[in-house]
Amino acid sequence: MRAVLCSSFTGPADLRVSEIEPPKPAGDEILIDVHAASVSFMDQLLVSGLYQMRPPTPFVPGTEASGVVVAVGDKVKAFAPGDRVACSSWIGGYAERMTAKESKSVRLPDSVAFEPAATVLHNYGTACYALVERARAQRGETLFVTGAAGGVGLATVDLGRHLGLCVVAGVGSDDRAALVREYGASEIINYRSEDLRNRIKSIASGEGIDIGFDNIGGAIFEQMARSMRWGGRLMPIGFTSGEIPQIPMNLPLLKNYSILGVFAGAWTEKFSADAARMNATLMQLLAGGKIRPHIDRVLPLEEAGDAMRAVANRTVQGRIVLKIR
């Protein structure tokens, strides 16, 4: 089968499409004919050796995909050959076939196409875990999202709108404003050209934000830490700036707000039944038009490296999808 191979942690430029043997499912896994796979920032970090885990090389990157089940392990109960599914895995998606854990797979409603389905579990799963499980978001609360036009950020804007939150979108350039507004942001802050703390203060009537969802880290997170409302929840999601922030701990003490770590991937491993229920809910929301994944472009498998470079250079709004079948 055709697959993208990462043979060394030297980045997207050294990825190659090769012919390899198809994988075989373990007892708790399903084997999938992959139709579409999404390209995430995490994928780019993995092939560059910058993620917190390093798979043995060579490996096939790709953390999220959709397709049709062709075989199941002897312990699998929920799926059968012929089922249309979406799945998540640490690796394996950029190939004509992949395996995934039964617990990390979800059946697709008939109305859901493979391309949008391949963008939901990571993006919207992270957003849902953060807003619903961690922050316990309540209708009417103010949510500030950084990196709001990216894959996870835009999903959080969209889901926040669905949950009835007042969504403030943080972007790094004005050309992203129209998209985040279309997806539900009531206010937009360009943190490269505006004073973030002053803008938050004016939007939130001097009270600060209830929920901070930060993809960037560094100075942005530090400014958010000074812009929280009493009893708020500040959530570090990732550090795309490359800088892990450090903040004075008197800030959460003085306003009694919480700092809540969000590592959705680890949660899905530890609480697989809860994660499976969440994934099923997200697919129903997708089928009903309640959430609307944004696909920036669809590319062939051979352009996986170009897609990763676009993600790394922040020229992508939403997700790039690789069409494999």
CB-based contacts of 235, cutoff 8 Å, min separation 6 = 130, 134, 135, 211, 212, 213, 214, 259, 260, 261, 262
Binned at pLDDT 50, 70 and 90, residue 204 comes out as: confident
Which amino acid does the sequence have at 322? L
Note whether 155 and 243 are same-domain residues.
yes
36-61: average pLDDT? 93
Note whether 260 and 145 are same-domain residues.
yes
Enclosing domain of residue 232: 124-264
Q: How many CB atoms lie within 10 A of CB 196?
A: 21
157-185: average pLDDT? 96
Which amino acid does the sequence have at 90? W
**Quick check: is 276 in a domain?**
no
CB-based contacts of 180, cutoff 8 Å, min separation 6 = 148, 149, 154, 157, 169, 171, 188
Does 259 have pLDDT greater than 90? yes
How far apart CA 227 and CA 278 sit, in angstroms, is 30
Note whether 231 and 132 are same-domain residues.
yes
Helix (H) or strand (E) holding 117: helix 114-117
Average pLDDT of the residues of the chain: 95
Output the CA torsion sign for 60, 64, 67, 69: positive
State the pLDDT at residue 219: 93
Does 53 have pLDDT greater than 90? no
pLDDT, one tens digit per residue, over 121-144 is 999 999 999 999 999 999 999 999
Binned at pLDDT 50, 70 and 90, residue 236 comes out as: very high
**Quick check: is 288 in a domain?**
no
Q: What is the pTM of this model?
A: 0.91
**Quick check: is 283 in a domain?**
no
Does 314 have pLDDT greater than 90? no
* Count of structural domains within the chain: 2
**Quick check: is 274 in a domain?**
no
Q: Percent of the chain having pLDDT more than 90?
A: 90
Output the CA torsion sign for 110, 148, 322, 18: negative
State the pLDDT at residue 208: 94
Note whether 39 and 100 are same-domain residues.
yes
Note whether 166 and 149 are same-domain residues.
yes
Note whether 177 and 241 are same-domain residues.
yes
Note whether 103 and 136 are same-domain residues.
no
Note whether 67 and 165 are same-domain residues.
no
Note whether 10 and 113 are same-domain residues.
yes
What is the CATH classification number for the domain harbouring 260? 3.40.50.720
State the pLDDT at residue 206: 84
How far apart CA 183 and CA 162 sit, in angstroms, is 10
